[in-house]
Amino acid sequence: MIRFLDGVLGPKSVKPLIIILGVILAVCAFGVARCIWKGGAAQQAEQTTKSGEALADAAENAVETVTNAHAREASIDTIVEEAAKEIDNAPSPEAARAATLRAVCVLEEYRLDPACTVQQPNP
């Protein structure tokens, strides 16, 4: 490698380059050693604790989100089942349409729809 550098940089530049690289390597090694010897472990432990707490909070939020989504889906399933029974038992097409509108207007996504606000007793 020294011969390669000698050919690329010239014979007078190789020695200072190697010395500079050695100094840089020594400074890096000293910095790493200082972190380890002067509280680096305590800082690492603190950071690990903070990371663990953040991960636990994220997991808790994810579980809460999934639970809420499951509850919403169960509510929607109940509304759809009840609407299907009402529609099946409707005596006329108008009654089936009214049952469909009632069921759709119960859903949160459609509550503010103009067709649903007309259906509400006190809009």
* Higher per-residue pLDDT: 85 or 11: 85
Give residue 11's pLDDT.
Answer: 61
The mean predicted confidence, pLDDT, of the chain is 79
Distances (CA, A) of 25 to 21, 29, 39, 46, 96: 6, 6, 22, 28, 81
CB 107 within 8 A of CB 90: no
| Residue pair 71/65 in contact by the 8 Å Cβ criterion | no
At 123 the pLDDT is 47
CA 5 to CA 29: how far, in whole Å? 24
Higher pLDDT, 13 or 22: 22
Please tell me what DSSP assigns to residue 112: T
